[in-house]
Amino acid sequence: MRRRLVAGNWKMNKNYREAMDLFEKLNEASAAMPAEVDVMIAPPALYLTGFAKTSTRKIEVGAQDVSHREEEEGAFTGEVSAAILKSAGVRYAIVGHSERRQYHGENDELIGKKIQACVKAELTPVYCCGESLEERESDRHFEVVRKQVSTALSGFSAEELSALIIAYEPVWAIGTGKTASAEQAQEMHADIRANVKELFGAEFAEKVRILYGGSCKPGNAAEIFGKPDVDGGLIGGAALKAEDFTAIIGAGF
Ligand code: PGA
C-alpha cells in the first residue's frame, strides 16, 4: 500500500509575518491530521531552516527547487545545493515544476541533473511533469509526459530512485481553476505507472507515489485522491490557506 502524500507548494508567496502565521496554524492543526497521510510544505527558500527546526513531526519541509550542481558546495552564486538543504533538515525538493520550465528554461536533461543531486544528497525528489493545453488538445498528452519522464529519469537505476515521487501537473490546470477530472488524472497516472514499469520494473512501479497537481481544492480532492493510481496531491493556491490545506489533507477520511 502506498501512503498518501499531500504537499503544499507556496511558490513566491507570503512575507515573513504571513508565512510564520500560516506555518503556526498548520502546526496547530497537525495533531488532528490523519495518521495515514504524509504532509509536506514547500515555503520560499528563506523560511526552510526555521520551519524544518520548529515544525511538528507531522509536517515535513521541502524546497521548491534545488541546484543541478552535484558539488556539495562551491562558487555557484545564488545556488542552494541538495547537500545544504539536507543539512538544514529539509527532506524533499520539488524539481521540474512547470513554472521553472516556463520562466527559467528548464528542460528534462537539466531536471535529471537535479534529481541526480537529490539522489546523491539523499533528498527526496518530487519530479513534476505535465502537458500544455495545446499538447492535450492535439491529443499528444500521453506521448509528451512519457517523453518527459523517460528523459528526466534516464540513466538511473531503480534503486537510486527508490525515494522518487512523481507529480503529474497538467499545465492547463495550474492556477487556472480548471482541474483535470478525476478520470483524466487517473488515466494519466496509470500511464505514468505503466511507463515507469517498463523503465524500472513492476516492483518499482507498484511502490512509486504519483501526486496530482493543478487547481486541487477541498471540494475536489477526495474524488481525485480516491482514484487507484493517485497517491495524493501537490497543492498550490489552496495550500496558502490553513483551513483549505488542512481540509485537503483530510479529504476522504
Ligand atoms: P495550483 O498549483 O494548485 O495553484 O493549481 C499547483 C502547483 O503548481 O503545484
Query: Exposed, middle or buried, 65 (CB in 10 Å: 0-12/13-18/19+)?
Result: buried
List C-alpha distances in Å: 4 to 12, 94, 102, 153, 233.
Answer: 25, 17, 28, 22, 8
* Ligand 1 binding pocket includes 40 (Cβ within 6 Å): no
Q: Is 97 a catalytic site residue?
A: yes
Q: Is 71 a catalytic residue?
A: no
Which residues, in sequence order, are CB contacts of 58 under 8 Å at separation 6+?
30, 31, 33, 39
Q: Residue 81 has what pLDDT?
A: 98
Tell me the average pLDDT across 73-90: 98
Q: Is the CB of 244 under 6 A from ligand 1?
A: no
Average pLDDT value over all residues in the chain: 97
**216 CA to centre of ligand 1 in angstroms:** 7
CATH classification of the domain holding 193: 3.20.20.70
- The Cα 6–Cα 232 span in angstroms is 5
What SS3 state is found at 242?
helix
Residue 181 exposed, middle or buried by CB count within 10 Å (0-12, 13-18, 19+) = exposed
| pTM of the predicted structure, to 2 decimals | 0.97
Measured distance CA(138)–CA(107) in Å, rounded: 21
Q: What's the gap in Å between 160 CA and the centre of ligand 1?
A: 28
Question: What pLDDT does 99 receive?
Answer: 97
Q: What is the pLDDT of residues 55-68, one digit of tens each?
A: 999 999 999 999 99
Pocket test for ligand 1, best of 6, 101, 127, 216 (most atoms within 8 A of CB): 216
Centre of ligand 1 from the C-alpha of residue 9, in Å: 7
pLDDT at 177: 85
- Separation between Cα atoms, residue 200 and residue 1, nearest integer Å: 18
Q: Report the share of the chain in percent with pLDDT over 70.
A: 100
Q: Which of 68, 97, 141, 189 is catalytic?
A: 97
Give the integer Cα–Cα distance in Å for 189 and 209: 10
Tell me how many domains the chain contains.
1
31, with CB counted inside 10 A (0-12, 13-18, 19+), is exposed
Q: What is the tens place of the pLDDT at every residue in 19-68?
A: 999 999 999 999 999 999 999 999 999 999 999 999 999 999 999 999 99
Give the helix/strand (H/E) hosting 191: helix 182-200
pLDDT band of residue 178 (cuts 50, 70, 90) is confident
Phi, psi at 64, each rounded to 5°: -80, -15
Q: Say if ligand 1 is within 6 A of residue 169 CB.
A: yes
Give, using CA atoms, the residue closest to atom 7 of ligand 1.
Answer: 236
Written as nine digits, the cell of 7 is 504537499
Report whether pLDDT(6) > 90. yes
| Residue range 175-179: mean pLDDT, rounded | 86
The predicted-structure confidence for 149-173, as pLDDT tens digits, reads as follows 999 999 999 999 999 999 999 999 9
Q: In which domain, by residue range, is 94 found?
A: 4-249
